Amino acid sequence: MNPSTHSGPGPGPAAPAAGLVLFAHGSRDPLWHRPMQAVRDQLLAEQPGALCLCAYLEISSPSLPAAIAQLVAQGCTRITVLPLFLGTGRHAREDLPLLLEQARQQHPGVQLDSATPVGEDPRVIGLLAQIAQQHIYKEPKL
């Protein structure tokens, strides 16, 4: 039996612990954080035991390096960073790869990857278009 493909009961290596970081810009306004935390809370409600943290580029905490370190301390050997950005702007294109490279140097035994920003997912684009459509013919509030 190939231990890397073992998935049945009984002895065999444990699957690497996977973690997820929901990565956003950050803000001094505590109300700004609510949508990111709501995404995390819903994910954890649907996937109890998942290892998922929010992290922020600036202003807010935890920082991305701190969140990665916390997941590593919890035993994660694979961590994906999901940018909660509408597009691949400078933060996703330049800042995030630099932060990930620094984290790879600090945690050489950990696989660190970045996903495409959520705003580029066709499902998010479709949902935003649906929401926008609701406002085309909406009567103004007086």
Question: Tens digit of pLDDT for each residue in 52-99?
Answer: 999 999 999 999 999 999 999 999 999 999 999 999 999 999 999 999
Please give the model's pTM, rounded to 2 decimal places.
0.84
What mean pLDDT is predicted for residues 23-27? 96
Within 47-141, residue ranges assigned H as helices are 64-73, 90, 96-106, 122-134
Residue 17 has pLDDT above 70, yes or no: yes
Residue 15 has pLDDT above 80, yes or no: no
Give dist(CA 48, CA 8) in Å, integer.
Answer: 21
State residue 16's pLDDT score: 65
Q: How far apart are the first and last CA of the chain?
A: 71
pLDDT in tens, 110-133: 999 999 999 999 999 999 999 999
